[in-house]
Amino acid sequence: MRRLLLAGAAALMLGAGFGAGFGAGSAEAATFRWANDGDVNSMDPYARNETFLLSFTQNIYEPLVRRNRELKVEPALATSWSQPSPTVWRLNLRQGVKFHDGSPFTADDVIFSAQRVRAQGSNLTSVLSSVKEVRKIDDFTVEFETHAPDPIFLEEITTWAMMSKRWAEANNATQAVDLTTGQENFATRNANGTGPFMLASREPDRRTVLRPNPNWWDKPEHNLDEVVFNVIGNDATRVAALLSGEVDMIYTVPPQDTDRLGRSGNVRIHQQAELRTVFLGMDQVRDELLKSDVKGKNPFRDVRVRRAFQQAIDLEAIKARIMRGQSRPTGLMIGPGVNGWSEAADQVVRPNLDAARRLLAEAGYPNGFGVTMDCPNDRYVNDEAICTAVVSMLARIGVRVTLNAQTRARYFAEILAPRYQTSFYLLGWTPTTYDAHNTLYNIMGTRGGSRGVFNSGGWSNARFDELTNQIAVETDAAKRQQLINEAMRLHADEVGHIPLHQQVVVWAARNNITLQQMADNYFPLRYVRVGQ
C-alpha cells in the first residue's frame, strides 16, 4: 500500500504542470480511479485498430468528427462539411484549437496525420482506404477526394485522431511503430493531442494517469481533476478493488460476479448488447499449417473441415455455461445495431456431432488431427474460458486442440504479425463505422494493401471482394442491402470464419459515479462525474 501511495504521489507531481489550475477551489473536482484486466499497450492512436486502445487514446487525441452519446456523428476538430462533388468532401476546421504543448492545430496537421495513418507501422490504414487524395485549401480547410462516391466517409474517419506534425517531427515519431514487432518510439509512451485529457504519467502494464486539459475547445461535462487507470489482471482482485472502494469503476466485469456486484448495494451494473462479434478464424493460405501435426497439407483449406468445426461447437452452451447468459449467439459476422445486419440472414448453426465426424472422415481425417489454438486471456469477456470450451467441444469429434492463451500484447503480436503466425484463433471485431462494409473489408476481404488487414486466416473469394467494392459506393439502400446479403451468404457457405456471439457490454461502477456506456464499448471520460 505504501508503494501504491508513493506511486500515486509521483503521478500527481508529474501531472501538476499539465492540469494546474483546473478545478482549483472547486468542491466538485475529483479523482476518478478505474481498472481493466489489460493495458492500452501504446499511447500512439495509430498503433493498433483495437477498441480499447482507440477508446483510451481518444480521451487525449481527437478526430475531425466524433460520436455523441447516441453514437451519431457530430463535429469535433471539423466544424462543418460539404460535398462540392460526389467524390469530394470539404471539411472546415475548428479555429483556435491548440495541442497540449500549446502549438496550434491547422490543416498541416491533418495532411500530416493522413500521411502517417497510411504509412508503414500504422494499423489504421483502412480508415482512408477510399481516399485518393487529401488537399489543403487553406490553413483551416481541407478536401478529401475519394476514388468513388463514399456514402459512409464520415463514419469511417470517426476513429482517426489528429496528431501534431511539429511534435512528431521534433520527437522522431513521424511514423507509427508496429506493435507486433515490440518496437517503440516517442509516441508509444508520450502523447500530445487536442482532447479533453492530457497524459501525466505512464507505467506500462500498471498505471496511467491523465489530467484535464484546461484549454480544451469544448465545454467539459466531467468534474474530474485526475484520472487514474489501473491494470488489474486477476478477476477476483479487480472485483474486490471495486467493492472496497479502491477503484470507482471496472471496465471488464467477470460474468460470474455480475449478480454479486449488483447486490452489493454500493455498485451499479451498466450493461447493453455490444456491436462486437466474437469469432474463430482458420489459416486457409499455407500449404502446411504452422501449428498442427498434419504434415504436407492444410486441413483448413477443405471447406468440409471448416464446416465440421462449426457443427461441433455449441453456441448455446457457451452462452449458458461460459457467458452466464451475457451473449447473443450469431450466424453472421455482424450483429444487430450494425447497418446491413438482417435477422433473416442471421441463422445460427446448431451442433451436429455425427455430421461433423462424417465431414472430417470425408475430408480424409477419420481420426481427427491436432492443431494449436491461439487465444487472448485479457481481451474479450471470458475469452480464455470460451477457447477452453471450444477445445472440449472439438475433442468430441476427434480434433486434438492445444490451447495457447496469452496476454493481448503477445497474442496480437502473433496473429497480426506480417505473416500471421497462427493456424486457429479467436478474435473479436466492432465495425467502427457501424456499417457492414467495415467488417467485410477488414476481416473478410482478401488480404492485400489495406484490405483484409485483420483477415489472419486469409479466406479469399473473388466474387466476395467484387461485392464489397460495390457495397462501398452503392448509395441506394435497398440495392446495397441485397449486395450485403449476397456477400454474407457467400462467406457463410464457405465457412470463411466461424461466428460465435455478440457479447454484452458489462461495466460496474460505484453508485456515486455517473458515466455514459456506449454500445461500441468506448469509454469517453468527458462524460464521467464523481458525486459525493
What domain range includes position 125? Answer: 2-248+512-530
Specify the pairing of strand 207-212 against strand 224-231.
antiparallel
Give the cell for residue 499.
461466428
Task: Please report how many Cα atoms fall inside a 13 Å half-sphere around the Cα of residue 20, on the Cβ side.
Answer: 5
Number of Cβ within 10 Å of residue 36's Cβ equals: 20
Q: Using an 8 Å Cβ cutoff, are 508 and 245 in contact?
A: no
What HEC string does 229-289 produce? EEECCCHHHHHHHHHHCCCCEECCCCHHHHHHHHCCCCEEEEEEECCCEEEEEECCCCCCC
Shared domain check, 460 and 331 = yes
* Amino acid occupying residue 79: T
Q: Using an 8 Å Cβ cutoff, are 515 and 291 in contact?
A: no
Domain-located, residue 254? no
Alpha carbons 485 and 261: distance in angstroms, whole number: 41
Give Dmax (Cα) for the chain. 75
Domain-located, residue 261? no
pLDDT value at position 272?
87
Domain-located, residue 270? no
Shared domain check, 424 and 525 = no
Q: Which helix (H) or strand (E) holds 36?
A: strand 30-36
Shared domain check, 181 and 132 = yes
Number of Cβ within 10 Å of residue 410's Cβ equals: 15
pLDDT value at position 419?
85
Q: Using an 8 Å Cβ cutoff, are 162 and 113 in contact?
A: yes
Task: Please report how many Cα atoms fall inside a 13 Å half-sphere around the Cα of residue 478, on the Cβ side.
Answer: 0
Shared domain check, 478 and 352 = yes
Alpha carbons 29 and 394: distance in angstroms, whole number: 53
pLDDT value at position 28?
63
Domain-located, residue 255? no
Report the domain count for the chain. Answer: 2
| Helical ranges in 20-106 per DSSP H | 51-57
Alpha carbons 200 and 208: distance in angstroms, whole number: 8
Shared domain check, 379 and 422 = yes
Shared domain check, 473 and 400 = yes
Shared domain check, 225 and 282 = no
Phi, psi at residue 351, to the nearest 5°?
Answer: -65, 140
Shared domain check, 525 and 415 = no
Q: State the residue for C-alpha cell 489472419.
A: 456
CA 7 to chain centroid: 29
Number of Cβ within 10 Å of residue 192's Cβ equals: 24
Which letter, b or e, does each residue of 290-307 get, where b requires 16 or more Cβ atoms within 10 Å of its Cβ? ebbebeeebbbbbebbbb
Number of Cβ within 10 Å of residue 453's Cβ equals: 20
Shared domain check, 492 and 344 = yes
Q: Using an 8 Å Cβ cutoff, are 210 and 200 in contact?
A: yes
Shared domain check, 404 and 490 = yes
pLDDT in tens, the chain (532 residues): 333 333 333 333 333 333 333 333 344 679 999 999 999 999 999 999 999 999 999 999 999 999 999 899 999 999 999 999 999 999 999 999 999 999 999 999 999 999 999 999 999 999 999 999 999 999 999 999 999 999 999 999 999 999 999 999 999 999 999 887 888 999 999 999 999 999 999 999 999 999 999 999 999 999 999 999 999 999 999 999 999 999 999 999 998 899 999 999 999 999 988 899 999 999 999 999 999 999 999 999 999 999 999 999 999 999 999 999 999 999 999 999 999 999 999 999 999 999 999 999 999 999 999 999 999 999 999 999 999 999 999 999 999 999 999 999 899 999 988 889 999 999 999 998 999 999 999 999 999 988 999 999 999 999 999 999 999 999 899 999 999 999 999 999 999 999 999 999 899 999 999 999 998 999 999 999 999 7
Domain-located, residue 263? no
